[in-house]
Chains A and B, each alone.
Chain A
Amino acid sequence: MSEIRWTDEQETVLRLRDKSILVSAAAGSGKTAVLVERILRHIMDEEHPVDLDRLLVVTFTRAAAAQMKERIREALFAKLKVDPGNPRLQRQEMLLATANITTIDSFCLQVVREHVQELPIDPGFRVVDEKELELLSREVIEDLLEDCYEAQDPKFLAFIDAYADMRNDDVASDMILKLVRAANAQPWPEKWLLKSLKSFEINSLEELAQTDWMQAGLSQVKRGLSGMYSLAALAKEIAEEADGPEMYLPLLTEECDAIEAMCQMDDYAQIGEALAHFVSSLGRLSTKRGTNEEKKEEAKALRNQYKDRAKEILARYYAQELPDVLVDLQEMRAPMEGLIALTLQYLERFAEAKR
């Protein structure tokens, strides 16, 4: 074990103390080995010794946790072989079996157990098994839906009308559960759910433009345009070369300028219009015979590429007119409010049912 030669970066990771460190490296590059060595150096540190039970090592699977323990054990054994009388090493070996080298699940469980007094959880709680959970959840949903149907909240009914098929409303429970899974992956599920409603509270095209996803869409479109521009510029350059297909030059220049103009635009709709115009008014390349056949083909291929790119952007980002998008979103608002209210109620009732 002591034969290992660490790289400079690894050595830095091993040496650093009293800071948070993020180690990111390729699979098989020795992250775990470095971590094990770091743990060993910690517990062997003469000046600031740390016992194994004062460390928390979290992994994602039980097998990974056990493997981590095995590596530490091997390293400990190797050291003990050389120095069997070292009480510090002996103690670590004894502590290893119950050290906090665990999966994230069992660590969380331990935190909950130790602080159950501070939580709204019964100290006699147990971890429910999947089957039981499913039954419980189904029961809660059934009761909830029946109550909602009785209450006839218009937003709830809007949701049901929009999504349930004629045979049954199974889709409602599926959607609740799907949303619950997504929400529960967030630190504050309820807040997240309420926040996601904001995506539907859009009253004007201006507001629409300001949404995160429209901004993301815009930047995607612009990235596409600048890709197109590089292709067009390259095509134009080839046409300008000495034996290039100069008969292409006028059209290529025109198109290149048009693309460049589009690149300058910042308005989503405006770009869409320009792009649609660009695609619908694409001219035909001159059929005059050129000098260098190869360069001609090259320019042609490049042009085909940006033509395709343009069509792709249109199909992908401009399938629907923005005012229609706005209408769709507004139409979706009531059903989504219904769904989210339903999901929030479910969360509340389910938590109650678990108690």
Chain B
Amino acid sequence: MSLQWITGSSGAGKSYVAYRQVIEEALARPEERFFVLVPEQFSLQTQKTIVGLHPRKGILNIDLLTFARLGYRVFDAVGMAEDPVLDDTGKVLVLRRILSEQQENLTVLSSSAGKSGFASEVKSMISEFSQYNVSPQILSELLEELSQTGTLSGKLRDLLLLYGEFQKALSGKYTTTEWMMQELADRIEEASFLRGATVLLDGYTGFTPQQLVVLRKLFAVCRKVIITVTLDPNETPGEKSEEHTLFHLSQETIRLVREQAILAGCEEEEIQTIGGTPYRFRESEDLATLEKNLYRYPWVPSEETPEDIALISCKNPLTEAYVVAEKIRAYAREFGWKYNEFAVVTGDLGTYGRLLSGAFRQMGIPCFVDQNEEVFGSPLPEFLMGALRIVSERFKPQYVFQMLRSGLTALTREEVDLLENYVRAHGVRSLAAWSRPFAYGEDAQVCEPIRVKWMEIISPFVAEVKEAQNAADLTRALYQLMESQEAFQTLAETKEGWEEEALRPETSTSFERIYAAVLHLFDQIIALMGEEALSVHDYAKVLEEGLRAISVGQIPGSANQVMIGDLKRTRLKDIRALFVVGVNDGVTPAPGSSGGILTDREKEKLKDLGLTLAPTRKEESYQDIFYLYMNLTKPERKLVMTLARSDASGKLLRPSGVIAKLQQIFTKLPLLQDEDRNDDPSALLREDDGLSYLVRVLREEEEPSAFSEELMRYYAAHFSEEELEDWIAGIYFSGDTKKLTPEEAIQLYGEHLQGSVTKLQDYAGCPFAYYAGAGLLLKERRDYEASPVDLGNLLHEAMCRFGRACLSRGISWGSLSDEERDSLAEQCLQEAVSGESGEVFLQDHRSEYLIKRLSHTFLRTMEVLCRQVAESDFEPLRFELPFDRIPELTYDLGEGKKLSLRGKIDRIDLAEVDGKTYLKVLDYKTGAQKYDWTRMYYGLQMQLPVYLKGALSGESRLSRGEVHPAGIFYSRIQDPYLSDVKGDPKDAFYGKFQVDGLANETPRVLAALDHNLGDAEGLNPGVKSLQIPVSLKKDGTPDVHSKVISEIGLKKVLDRTDHNLKRMGKEILDGVNEIAPMQFDASGKSDACSYCSYRDVCGFDARLGGFGYRKMKKLEKEEALQRMAAEGGEEDV
């Protein structure tokens, strides 16, 4: 029946004194019982401490408890049957139901009742009421005092209703932890084991009203209650203090506890105050000074430069993590401290936990992150949510693969990959599509069995879900699905896999607990809302909420590890060096969170009415300062605080006010900048034997320094060549692919190399691109959508059909009437769409409409093309003409090797001019394409010359006579915009389609190509052709901008192309495959990489040494021709 306070500042040794006292008394009074009550987080540590202090290393008559465990002991002793405890998720499920039942009876909260997160808010509020001893009765009494109108009374009335319903729903079936505490208070007196016992409460910063009632009962039955409280020895315990002062929380605690003691008629013994320099800081004057002055007024500034306190400003949070890790290694070496004598705390464990554990692992420092991990997003929840959404979202691929990618189905990862490729390429997007056998494309055979396997998994589930009447049925369906996949076994395997690879060791232990938590959630759903008839969609929402609420705590794996914890929540003991990271404004101390059903203003109003609830933001901010004081005074020897100058995304951060506070106490305490860590040789001591450091040094040095040479000597002496090679190779990575040997090249491509012109153009752009595409056969993943390529194919086909139709009906393009032309074009496009190349356009309304727009474009293009024909002597005769291995396009590469080209010529037009046959070659483009001398010269534009050569040889064979080239042109399929039209808009539109390429400069041929340029009599001076890129000067000759060429010049172009092709063929079969992209213009704006599909494969990076673009010299027509003339006849490569 007595109360004893032990007070002292942080580190004074209150716990030590208290434990000693308890142990001594326990030894002296073996027949009596002793209890030590500590907060949950302390229990393990305290156990060790007491055992350590006890002379017999045993604590027979001393029991270590928490409030919760005290409860169980009492219930056990008084023989009370307990209802099962309902956890937070369970409470939310119950409240969800209550909310939907009571929505109509609610007033101000009625609109919130339908929101899914609201149940959780109500749950927190009801828990808070319970903890603060606010019963429904107290609430209703309070309501009578409040004015009847206003939001606050409305809220309280609604809460009262929900609170009552909640209690009703649980009564006799469930209990909650808060109610247990209340029950505990009611039954303590009956527990005989507490009579005459001694109870020590240690480590508490304050008590909830509920706990205070428990204390009152303890005062009544126990012989003695000892409580330790952190308080400056200069303050009088229990004196009135201002809210903002550092020890206000302690003073309030003393005051409140005293009230209870008086009520219980308990006497108070003399207060034991531990003064003097705190024991903890016996070896560190700096930390003692810090404790004495931190948040005290007035404070005594120290002029000394502290040795045991360091402030370090780092570039970003990642750097902080490494700085801390390196410091820990350094201290451990220097002082021989064990890892469990270090701790790191922060206000933002979410960000820093991951970074720190990563850095620690790399440095070989064992650590434990004191953090509950949310499981949402991990495999099992993904599996479950995916399964439900497959049903509710009607087999949308993203949900199918959400489930499959969880890795918990019977499908292997490779099977899932194959399946996904197929599904994407062929647009499998509905249950119907999934139910049909896969039959398209080369992958169908491989994928069909996987589809069958998958359908066997999901079909029974889908069927059951359709049958399901209520939440319980749905839950059972999910459970069966899970069990059918042996999900648990997979979990176990995954876990082992993870442990082996040590990829995420900190999470691996949690997986079986996730499974257990999910099963528990299932049980709760069935028990608490099983009868509810929910749609799959609504059920998925409930499940998601439940899964999101699951967080799995970690259990420390070993005793010797660095604790990484939260500034407010984590409790530390016996720490030599403490690191506080993220000491930035808005991070540490963490900004309070607002929210909840009652606002701070409302809570303040209630407090005035005598109703105390959880602290407001303001009160919390005072408490934060106290927790900060408690933490900063934890270490015995070293306190290191780090801050980041910017966050991970590069946003600037400012130091926290704590930094300034410390510098106020230690006026000479510098804020150090993290040294450039690359130069810090302590990295040599890392777990990887410093190899990563060596690599960094070598990479950054232009010339080897004495230091790096010394390093190399060391590594050469201690490591094998193979071990070093992997590391060193990385430094000099330059993307040098291994050149194939000629034998390998022949095995890959064959002695007779065959290829399309476009592929060889790719080679001219970058040999590796050719190697990847034509050699390794790498392809981009196909998607079932109307791609530009599909579009091009469709238009080419329609175009071809148009030409052939005219040909077979014997009509000229130029003689078609507008109606004939439009209807023929429309018909050709429709035919193309209903053919194979149109399939992809029929998948949805969007693509169908694309065809409609395309038909507009096509009709307009045909209008122009027909006019072009009408205004020339040339008539289109050949369409989509294929060539393959024709002698003219087969090149002897020597040593029995050959290169043959294949391809398709879009269109060949013929005309008789002056008794000679002329032809022009057209290549349709859906984008802009210009003839470019430079590109032609370097082999980047070979299509037109190759087509011309093929066409000339083909036609001359057919006509058994000489055929002459009239020109080679790119022709555009488009629906252009017109702006700022001058003159006739029809002509302006027509002019937009002007072809680009080279025209034979012979006047008669020019006139035949475009009648507007002239006729048999001669050319019309000053005319500009709208059809071909030719303008005539006043003397009737083409101007400088005209793209014309003599027949001899054209021959040179063909020769140059032959020369290029031969060279490339030889190189390819020699095995050349280097990564050497061509840069197309001096400014570097466009290069072969711009549209290359293989850019992510080769790893080309112009910034790295060893990589570089090939440059080409810009050539105009004259220079190109001169160069080609100079090369003329040369056959060497």
Contact = CB atoms under 8 A, between A and B. Distances in A.
Interface of A: 53, 61-63, 65-67, 69-70, 73-74, 77, 80, 84-85, 87, 90-91, 94-98, 110, 113-114, 116-117, 120-125, 145-146, 149-150, 157, 160-161, 164-169
B541 to A, nearest CB: 10
B244 A90 contact: yes
B909 interface: no
B660 A77 contact: yes
Interface string B785-829: 010100100000000000000000000000000000000000000
Contacts of A62: 585-586, 651-654
Interface stretch (B46-54, B680-688, B848-856, B1035-1043): B848-856
Nearest to A87: B242
A167 B298 contact: no
B653 A63 contact: yes
Contacts of B856: 161
A113 B853 contact: no
A84 B853 contact: no
Q: Is the interface of B mostly helix, strand, loop or mixed?
A: loop
19 contacts: A66-B653, A69-B585, A70-B585, A70-B654, A90-B245, A90-B297, A91-B243, A95-B244, A98-B617, A98-B620, A98-B624, A113-B593, A114-B599, A117-B108, A117-B112, A121-B115, A150-B845, A166-B926, A168-B788
Contact of A73 (B118, B660, B849): B660
B595 interface: yes
Given A98-B620, A114-B595, A166-B973, 5 more contacts: A69-B585, A70-B655, A91-B244, A122-B118, A167-B788
Given A66-B585, A70-B654, A85-B298, A124 B844 contact: no
Contacts of B653: 62-63, 66
A149 B846 CA distance: 6
Nearest to A99: B621
Nearest to A139: B398
A66 B660 contact: no
Interface in B352-404: none
Contacts of B857: 166
Contact of B844 (A61, A90, A146): A146
B116 A122 contact: yes
A66 B654 contact: yes
A120 B114 CA distance: 10
B121 interface: yes
B784 interface: no
A113 B595 contact: yes
A139 to B, nearest CB: 9
Which 8 interchain pairs have the tightest Cβ spacing? A124-B117, A66-B654, A84-B298, A149-B845, A98-B621, A66-B585, A91-B244, A122-B117
A80 B853 contact: no
B112 A66 contact: no
Query: Secondary structure at chain A's binding surface: helix, strand, loop or mixed?
Result: helix
A148 to B, nearest CB: 8
B299 A116 contact: no
B759 interface: no
Nearest to B845: A149
Nearest to B786: A168
A123 B594 contact: no
A122 B618 CA distance: 25
B845 A94 contact: no
A123 B589 contact: no
Contacts of B618: 53, 95, 98
B654 A166 contact: no
A149 B595 contact: no
Contact of B244 (A87, A150, A166): A87
B597 A117 contact: yes
Nearest to A80: B297
B586 to A, nearest CB: 7
A149 B786 CA distance: 15
Interface string B89-122: 0000000000000000000110110011110110
A53 B597 CA distance: 21
A85 B242 CA distance: 12
Nearest to B592: A98
Contact of A166 (B118, B656, B974): B974
B394 to A, nearest CB: 13
B242 A91 contact: yes
A296 B545 CA distance: 86
Contacts of A122: 115-118
B591 interface: yes
Interface in B850-904: 850, 853-854, 856-857
B153 interface: no
B622 interface: yes
Nearest to B974: A166
A145 B651 CA distance: 37
Contacts of B109: 117
Given A69-B657, A90-B297, A168 B850 contact: yes
Contacts of A67: 654
A110 B592 CA distance: 11
A128 to B, nearest CB: 15
A233 to B, nearest CB: 35
A160 B849 CA distance: 10
Contacts of B594: 110, 113-114
A122 B299 CA distance: 47
Contacts of B853: 160-161, 164, 166
B348 interface: no
B625 interface: yes
B845 A70 contact: no
